[in-house]
Amino acid sequence: MQKHVKDDIIRSYFDEVSDVDKEMLDVVLADPTHIKQTFNNVYKELTEQYREQYTSDFDAMDTDLETARTTWVNPTWLGDSKVPRSNSERRRMAYQSSLARTQRALADNPESLNQAGAHYADMEHTLKQIESLESMRDKLFELADNDIALRMQLSKSGYEVYQSLKSIMSDATVDRKQRDTAEANALLMAQHADVMAQYMRQMGRGGYTAMDYFRDSVRINMNAVLENQKGYNQLDQDARLKLSIDKKKSGVEL
């Protein structure tokens, strides 16, 4: 797992993430090849842990709600809020109702109220972890369906090649399909640069990087004509995007 790649992906896909969001992203993105599986496993574990560990809080909430149903008098902690229906709503309300009851019961006993604080701090943190996963699920699953695993396997220098190529190619495209093609091409070239850099190091060029290979051996012409299938070429038949990446002399025979 490449931390620099993960950090860049978090910056690109997730705006203004909280500390809890970062905590959960670190867990879910730890294995980029199994994002959905990791997400589902972590989410299941946290929700079950929350329900089991705070059973008494749920029971007290349900008792208050049942009393409200028969008396038509809402509990004080519910206020103007609607009765929780979904599992997400019930988890949030179990925390809020329990905290409100405890604060009211121990209002004249600050020492006991302070001691109860640890219980609610742990409860709230687990709740925030669950809610964080719920809020990021769609984006995480979208990433899992794309090329994130391949990107996270690039070296630091290989990822710099990918970013440079993606920027060059994307600037020359006009729609989403073309940009997707450009990003796929950039990823292929970055992988190739990583392979060639490793080969050069094995041949005695210590410290040779993917970016070195890119600078030494690649020339990009976004308006080139696809000809004789030489070098690295891509033609988007629909968008008629013409691209060739021609290898310059690098002193390497393949």
C-alpha to C-alpha distance for 190 and 184, rounded to whole angstroms: 10
Helix/strand/coil (H, E, C) string of 131-169?
Answer: HHHHHHHHHHHHHHCCCHHHHCCCCHHHHHHHHHHHHHH
Candidates 133, 157, 155, 168; CA nearest to 42 is 133
C-alpha to C-alpha distance for 23 and 49, rounded to whole angstroms: 18
Contact call for residues 91 and 49 (beta carbons, < 8 A): no
Residue 184 binned pLDDT confidence (cut-offs 50, 70, 90): confident
pLDDT digits (tens, 9 = 90+) for 51-101: 999 999 999 999 999 999 899 888 888 888 888 999 999 999 999 999 999
pLDDT digits (tens, 9 = 90+) for 99-151: 999 999 999 998 999 999 999 999 999 999 999 999 999 999 988 877 676 77
Secondary structure class of 207 (helix, strand, coil): coil
| Interval 170-182 mean pLDDT | 67
Contact call for residues 155 and 210 (beta carbons, < 8 A): yes
When mean pLDDT is compared over 21-35, 117-131, 163-177, 239-253, the highest value belongs to: 117-131
Q: Which residue has the higher pLDDT, 179 or 59?
A: 59
pLDDT of res. 90: 96
Report pTM.
Answer: 0.67
pLDDT of res. 1: 45
- Indicate if the pLDDT at residue 242 is higher than 70: no
pLDDT digits (tens, 9 = 90+) for 7-37: 777 877 787 889 999 999 999 988 877 889 9
Residue 220 binned pLDDT confidence (cut-offs 50, 70, 90): low
C-alpha to C-alpha distance for 32 and 53, rounded to whole angstroms: 30
Q: Which residue has the higher pLDDT, 190 or 249?
A: 190
For residue 52, the one-letter residue type is: E
